[in-house]
Structure 1
Amino acid sequence: MIAVRPGPPLTGTVTVDGSKNAAMPLLAAAAALGRPVRLGNIPANTDVQIMLTLLQQAGWHIAQPVGEQTTAVILPTENRTTHLDLSQAARIRASYYLVPALLARHGEARLPWPGGCRIGARGMDLHFKVYEAFGDGSAQGGSGYRVEASTPRTGTVSLVLPFRSRGATVAAVLRAVTTGRPLRLGEPNLSPEVLSVLDALRSAGWETRASAHLLVLSPPPVGQEGAVVWQVPGDKVEAGTLACAIAATGGTARVGGVHGKDVTPLVTALRHLGIPASAEADALAVHAEDARPTNRALRAIASLSPGGLDADFEPPLMALALGLPGTHLFADAINPGRHGNLLPQLARLGAEIEEISPTGCRLTGPQRLTGAGVEATDIRTGSALMVAGLTARGVTTVGGLEQLRRGHADLPGKLRALGADICEVTP
């Protein structure tokens, strides 16, 4: 477990790892492309390691250049194993990204239902509708699902998503890649993680055009082959969590390695609370020693709309807001089980948070927290609890590190580099 105690304001400079949420679809895109891909800045968290293992088990060759621990080369092979054991896919949510590549290589995808954090149902009905648009068939069972590739077809695939699902958007894009068919996708998800996939495909010759209401994808000229080099963008959620920790302690620090535009909604929220922050080209800077609390209510509403607040920013913002004046509203209908995890753990620290719906809550600050034993029941709950522990009186112990490490290789180490009084202890 992790022990956290309050200390001096966090200061200094730290660099985030590659983004787990971006690495997963990029690895799946590398497999779907059918060409050698050199992918850099891969984070060393548990979920990404499982994804790499699944690719190897499904017949791709994964090579790591000597001395480059964050780089992998994904190579297509002739392996057409018919009896695949992909049971580890049940441990991660992003396993569904592998379906298009499996269809292209094996003609079918048999996978257990996705797992990962318990923050709501892993609905895949929209994924199946995407595959139906390409002519693929699907069947669902109690323990998993099966998608079977259709006979080769031609022509543009057109469909409109009923909501901006990141998973369904990636599924449509990667299925277009594996079939070589043009795609017109209405109401796409245009989060930074999806845009990083589109940028990667563009470097491989695909023509991509994306607006708020339409994503258009066209295949490259026939015969375009050869290796491509991609890079996983910096982890915007890790950067946002560190920023909230810096702000909570009244510190001034710089978080490097993240695209500034990816954290703009988080910066807007901090400024709304009176905390000076700025998004640079490749960094996020926080100057909380100059903070001037505004007493203004923060409305942190998770959104799938372009430019909206990513749901994963909400938990650390909630931990920060507990120490700031004002009555603040939080809502996350995207992950309906998240508040059920987070709020009881914050309550153990003495937080008083009013649940106004299953996915919405309200709190009034500032509140004084007291250290206690809490549990990282999911990745983002764990990171938010560390932010809260930095201001709670006494010692806060955070258990469930296996959850935290699914999304972060070493978030406690980055906080420690900024001066946090934090260490790993044996229960």
Structure 2
Amino acid sequence: MDVYRVRGGARLSGSVSVAGAKNSALKLMAAALLASGRTRLENVPQILDVTIMTEVLRRLGCVVSADGDVLEIDVPEQTTTETDYQLVRRMRAAVAVLGPLVARFGHAKVALPGGDAIGARGLDMHIDGLQRLGADVRLEHGYLIATASRLRGAEVTFDFPSVGATENVLMASVLADGETVIDNAAREPEIVDLVDMLRSMGAVIEGEGTSTLHVQGTDGLRATVHRTVPDRIVAGTWAIGAAMTRGDVRVRDARADHVERVLQRLADMGADLSTYDDGFRVQMDARPTAHDIVTLPYPGFPTDLQPMAIALNAIADGHSILTENVFEGRFMFVNELIRLGAHITIDGHHCSIHGTERFSSAPVEATDIRAGAGLVMAALVADGVTEVGHVHHIDRGYPGFEEQLRALGATIERVTVPQADPSE
């Protein structure tokens, strides 16, 4: 397997650019299924998850071509409506094709998705939302099967503002008969980005960025050209990395307003911040001051930055508590951080952190995309060389990660090492 070998002691300094958002691009690719013809997506991140979703679309019958950060998806008048099991099980976001397929073609057979091991993340809200729109949804032999002669508008209220469920129901409702109202909808910038694309395709939607979406169904949509919103999680990762290493990083091609809560916490912990039209700058000259953090749906502190926030508080001056309110499995990362010398205890969905000034190197393993990035950031402030395993997770969400780190002054290399035989 591939591992990162990271030598601690680097101070991140310089400029780094942020690509399009992973959590948006994958759903925009699914949305292309709603119209025949060629849709052009710009500012698409060159990451493993995009490669997997590209293959998902190809096996549905689409012709997909890539040129740098531009992706063109040519959707035929008719496609197959069954996804490939081996592909979908590798990435949860592939379930986003469920809504577009059943809305446009009246049938979808989508394998139960895989992805990061960060909690249960059930599909109940996806299923309930589509059923309220009139679809028959059932589970058979590891597949979700949805059928509908024509979806009809309805009121859909979520128990929790699930991003994935909001996206699936939203994409299904744009081709339904009548009006759909989605209450307690997710408010993330990626939802707004999806609405912008759907509107450019001819959809009639109001309320993006609020907890209530109003959708007036239409008879058909058209292919479009759309530019993906910048990745706020990658931007936040660089911001926290600058604070952890007492560095000075200018983050370009980003939206400061999309990480406002993150930047505010960094200011609370002692960072100097500057914002610009195309991004922001984070400077930290001293050891951070510990600060409590609570993860919440947007506009709260994002759960995807929770591993980095724990790592930051673990080397900060003082005691802090981080409360995880979104994904219960995210604390799996903590055991790896403890191997580096962090002083952390877990009680339910609370993480009690006593800061230590510096970590000590040790072999650790990434359990998901964000945990992997968090461990690399922790390795930057560890004594000696830290080996971070299972870095294929990081490939799924961070384009050119090690190259960008090296450009900021980190000493990091990617090497392939023999994998242990579990039978020995």
The one-letter amino acid paired with 1:351 is A
Spell out, residue by residue over 1:382-427, the C-alpha distance to the aligned partner (whole angstroms, 9 max, x if none): 1000111111111111010111111122212211110111111233
The answer to whether the aligner puts 1:247 opposite 2:243 as a matched pair is: yes
Match of 1:51 in 2: 53
Spell out, residue by residue over 1:1-20, the C-alpha distance to the aligned partner (whole angstroms, 9 max, x if none): 11111234211111122211
Q: In the aligned structure 1, how far is the partner of 2:116 from the partner of 2:220? A: 42
Tell me how far 1:331 sits from its aligned partner. 2.2
Match of 1:354 in 2: 345
The answer to whether the aligner puts 1:32 opposite 2:34 as a matched pair is: yes
The answer to whether the aligner puts 1:388 opposite 2:385 as a matched pair is: no
Tell me how far 1:143 sits from its aligned partner. 2.1
Tell me how far 1:29 sits from its aligned partner. 1.3
The one-letter amino acid paired with 2:293 is A
Tell me how far 1:74 sits from its aligned partner. 1.6
Cα pair 1:375 1:399 within 8 Å, conserved: yes
Question: Helix, strand or coil: the match of 1:179?
Answer: coil
Tell me how far 1:281 sits from its aligned partner. 3.0
- C-alpha distance 42-83 of structure 1, shift in aligned 2 (>3 A): closer
Given the alignment, which residue of 327, 330, 333 partners 2:322? 330
The one-letter amino acid paired with 1:285 is R
Spell out, residue by residue over 1:306-342, the C-alpha distance to the aligned partner (whole angstroms, 9 max, x if none): 41111011111111122211211112232111102x1
Q: In the aligned structure 2, how far is the partner of 1:127 from the partner of 1:366? A: 43
The one-letter amino acid paired with 2:244 is A
Mapping of residues 28-177 of structure 1, within 5 Å: 28-64=30-66, 68-81=67-80, 85-141=84-140, 143-148=142-147, 150-152=148-150, 154=152, 156-177=153-174
The one-letter amino acid paired with 1:217 is V
Spell out, residue by residue over 1:275-307, the C-alpha distance to the aligned partner (whole angstroms, 9 max, x if none): 112443321310113x574x4x52221111x41
- C-alpha distance 186-309 of structure 1, shift in aligned 2 (>3 A): same
How many residue pairs are counted as aligned between the two chains? 414
Match of 2:293 in 1: 300
Cα pair 1:100 1:178 within 8 Å, conserved: no
Tell me how far 1:246 sits from its aligned partner. 1.3
Question: Helix, strand or coil: the match of 1:91?
Answer: coil
Question: Helix, strand or coil: the match of 2:89?
Answer: helix
The answer to whether the aligner puts 1:402 opposite 2:402 as a matched pair is: no
Match of 1:423 in 2: 413
The one-letter amino acid paired with 2:401 is L
Match of 1:205 in 2: 202
- C-alpha distance 121-84 of structure 1, shift in aligned 2 (>3 A): closer
Q: In the aligned structure 1, how far is the partner of 2:120 from the partner of 2:94? A: 15
Given the alignment, which residue of 256, 261, 265 partners 2:252? 256
Cα pair 2:9 2:382 within 8 Å, conserved: no
- C-alpha distance 216-283 of structure 1, shift in aligned 2 (>3 A): same
- C-alpha distance 3-37 of structure 1, shift in aligned 2 (>3 A): same
Q: In the aligned structure 1, how far is the partner of 2:324 from the partner of 2:402? A: 25
Could you tell which deviates more after superposition, 79-88 or 14-23? Answer: 79-88
Tell me how far 1:212 sits from its aligned partner. 3.4
Spell out, residue by residue over 1:102-148, the C-alpha distance to the aligned partner (whole angstroms, 9 max, x if none): 22454322122110111111300111111111100111145232111
The answer to whether the aligner puts 1:266 opposite 2:262 as a matched pair is: yes
Q: In the aligned structure 2, how far is the partner of 1:361 from the partner of 1:405? A: 27
Match of 1:339 in 2: 331
Percent identity over the alignment is 32
Given the alignment, which residue of 276, 279, 284 partners 1:280? 276
Spell out, residue by residue over 1:200-257, the C-alpha distance to the aligned partner (whole angstroms, 9 max, x if none): 122233333226331112346x7874x4211112221111111111111111110112
- C-alpha distance 192-81 of structure 1, shift in aligned 2 (>3 A): closer
Q: In the aligned structure 1, how far is the partner of 2:57 from the partner of 2:220? A: 25
Q: In the aligned structure 1, how far is the partner of 2:112 from the partner of 2:266? A: 37
The one-letter amino acid paired with 1:300 is I
Spell out, residue by residue over 1:131-172, the C-alpha distance to the aligned partner (whole angstroms, 9 max, x if none): 111100111145232111x22255x42121111011111011
Question: Helix, strand or coil: the match of 2:150?
Answer: coil
The answer to whether the aligner puts 1:363 opposite 2:353 as a matched pair is: yes
Q: In the aligned structure 2, how far is the partner of 1:335 from the partner of 1:218? A: 32
Cα pair 1:157 1:182 within 8 Å, conserved: yes
Cα pair 1:43 1:409 within 8 Å, conserved: yes
Match of 2:421 in 1: none
Q: In the aligned structure 1, how far is the partner of 2:405 from the partner of 2:105? A: 44
Match of 1:312 in 2: 304
Tell me how far 1:376 sits from its aligned partner. 0.9
Q: In the aligned structure 1, how far is the partner of 2:122 from the partner of 2:187? A: 19
Cα pair 1:114 1:122 within 8 Å, conserved: no
- C-alpha distance 202-349 of structure 1, shift in aligned 2 (>3 A): same
Tell me how far 1:371 sits from its aligned partner. 0.5
Spell out, residue by residue over 1:32-74, the C-alpha distance to the aligned partner (whole angstroms, 9 max, x if none): 244532101111211111111111111222233xxx3211112
The one-letter amino acid paired with 1:183 is T
Q: In the aligned structure 1, how far is the partner of 2:151 from the partner of 2:120? A: 33
Cα pair 2:8 2:386 within 8 Å, conserved: no
Q: In the aligned structure 2, how far is the partner of 1:339 from the partner of 1:216? A: 36
The one-letter amino acid paired with 2:95 is Y
Q: In the aligned structure 1, how far is the partner of 2:221 from the partner of 2:397? A: 35
**Runs of 5+ consecutive residues of structure 2 not aligned to the other structure:** 418-424
**Runs of 5+ consecutive residues of structure 1 not aligned to the other structure:** none
Question: Helix, strand or coil: the match of 1:372?
Answer: coil
Cα pair 1:45 1:409 within 8 Å, conserved: yes
